[in-house]
Structure 1
Amino acid sequence: MKHNFIKKLLYIVTLVGALLLVLSGCGNSNNSSLQGIKKKGTLTVGMISSNPPYEFQTSKNGKTVMSGSDVRLVKKVAKSLGVKYKIKTMDLDGMLPAMQAHKVDMLITSMSPTPERKQGAKFSDVYYKSTNTLVVRKSDAHKYQDTNNFKDASIAVVNNSTQEPMIKKAFPNAPMKKLGKVTDLALAVNNGKADAFSIDIPTATILLKQNPNLTITSWRHHDSSAGAAVALPKNADKDLIKAINKVIAQNKTDYAKWVLEYAKQVN
């Protein structure tokens, strides 16, 4: 009796284990392989909701839709793979966990392949690299003509952005304020909660159009990051990465033009 019970128990454990392996394999296929995405028929992409001109919300026919250079790249990728696309927006610091949990197939959101991020994701070739600056209130512009004065300024950055380690290295003693999204940067400086914020020049140009009391300083920095790349699950197969890199190679020159094009469109 006892012997039969043990045999049944072992059979159940083995069966459950086999089912888990099958389910796990299905999940990996859908999120990590070229054929898995093609089989689903839809590419699900994660990106920041507000990071103009790369991605931002706009109104079209009475509906809120995503626009920007990264959205345009998503369309190119989906067309190349022969599938539809769906965009899920989230904060930058929640993106890698969302991809690791198979909530999205990949991240196309001007993300840099830092060593820390590479621990939990694979990356495509770089498709864009920009120059960073510091933005202050116009009333404080005279103070920061000497950029050494930033060493004691409170500087705002987007949390987990490439600007964060860059500012930490350039101004190690400056108090840093880590915020959730790009639009929070201008708000913080406008409200006196930060003396300055750091962002790439195309984004800074847009924010200045929306905040005429702010100005770009002469400070420039090419951060140590490789630039923007597509992030994929750690177990993404070679065919998927190869397909993404092919799209990037075909559109890399145009992407730089898209950035300027969308920068002019943002109000």
Structure 2
Amino acid sequence: MFKWKKFLVTGALCALSVMTLVGCGGQQAAAPSSSSSSSGVATTIKVGSAVDFAPFEFQDEGQAEYQGFDMDLIRAIGKEMGAEVEIQNIGFDGLIPALQAKTVDVLISGMTINDERKQNVTFSDPYYQSGLTMVVRKDEQSIQKFQDLKGHKVAVQIGTTSANEVKKIEGVEVKEFNTPADCFMELKTGGADAVVNDRPVSEYFITKSGQTDVKELPDMLTAEDYGIAVAKDNKELADKINAALKTLKENGEYDKIYDKWFGGAKK
């Protein structure tokens, strides 16, 4: 995910989480490489993450450990690999340089898999698909796909990609609001027929607010996959991460982590 988009999503969630950039591990330099067991699996995996992107990685006031979907997932992957996970908070722009300098072994930070980054890192299999989705009232039947929005009122957060993309759909009355909470209130009161926002923003808000009278639709206007990054020349580690991720999906642990942060929404 590009830095400007991370900023927009974080801003949308600031009312829900108090985030800091100080804590567990901080930004102190680490040893160039992880210690390894005789089996070849690192006993400690040094993980870099920009801990300012709820619900993927953040630090709540009064909490010592970093929290979020990415944080729980990488710890579960480490456990499956038989390794301890040491998380370092690094600015997003500094993540790939830290990986190249071998300050860290792994990156997980809501990072979109794209061709530009593939030139510098090796990505795991995708572990999350983001993009723009719709939320409607639970009894809504006339809206199933984005093309069905024609003739309807749609609430969006001002200044976001969702606002820009919905404005491109012909025949839609776009209503812009400052926060996701305002968008959902407009939907609840009947002033809007749908809310369009980034998938994690909508799912996390629904989970945190406990709303049960709305539903997220499976149709996605844009899509981007998130991946775990390792050094370009470290395919062995990428393979081990992929194997652990596959196991977590097969044994249900991935679903448990997903449901914790996104309330059992579409995976």
CA RMSD, Structure 1 to Structure 2 (Å):
4.6
**Equivalence for 2:15:** none
Would the alpha carbon gap of residues 112 and 46 (structure 1) be closer, same or farther in structure 2, given more than 3 Å must change? Answer: same
Instruction: Give unpaired runs (5+ residues) of structure 1.
Output: 1-25, 136-143, 158-162, 172-184, 191-195
Q: Which has the higher helix share?
A: 1
TM-score scaled by length of structure 2: 0.54
Establish whether residue 125 from structure 1 lines up as the match of residue 125 from structure 2.
yes
Deviation at 1:222, TM superposition (A): 4.6
* 1:58 paired residue number: 60
AA partner of residue 132 (structure 1): L
Q: Give me the whole-angstrom Cα distance separating, in 2, the residues matched to 1:127 and 1:219.
A: 17
Deviation at 1:218, TM superposition (A): 8.7
Distance 2:228 2:153 in 1: 37
- Distance in 2, Cα, partners of 1:222 & 1:256: 24
User: Per-residue deviation at 1:260?
Assistant: 2.6
For 1:247, the aligned partner's letter is A
The one of 41, 47, 50 equivalent to 1:48 is: 50
Helix, strand or coil for the counterpart of 1:58? Answer: coil
TM-score, with length taken from structure 1: 0.54
Asked if the contact 1:145–1:217 (Cα under 8 Å) also holds between the matched residues in 2, the reply is no
Secondary structure of 1:56's match? coil
Structure 2 residue 222 is matched with structure 1 residue 223 = yes
**What does 1:6-45 align with in structure 2 at a 5 Å threshold?**
27=32, 30=33, 38=41, 41-45=43-47
Report whether the alignment pairs 1:233 with 2:231. yes
Give 1 or 2 for the bigger CA radius of gyration.
Answer: 1
Higher RCO, Cα 8 Å, sep 6+: 1
Alpha-carbon spacing, 1:156–1:130, altered in 2? closer, same or farther (3 Å): closer
Once the 2 structures are TM-superposed, how far is the Cα of residue 36 of structure 1 from its aligned partner? Answer: 11
Task: Tell me how far apart the structure 1 counterparts of residues 38 and 237 of structure 2 sit (CA, whole Å).
Answer: 8
Is 1:84 the counterpart of 2:81 in the alignment?
no
| 1:262 alignment partner in structure 2 | 261
Residue ranges of structure 2 left out of the alignment (5+ in a row): 1-30, 136-150, 169-177, 184-194
Q: How many residues align?
A: 194
**What per-residue deviation string (whole Å, max 9, x for no partner) do you get for residues 112-157 of structure 1?**
211111111111111222442489xxxxxxxx9456x98xx96336
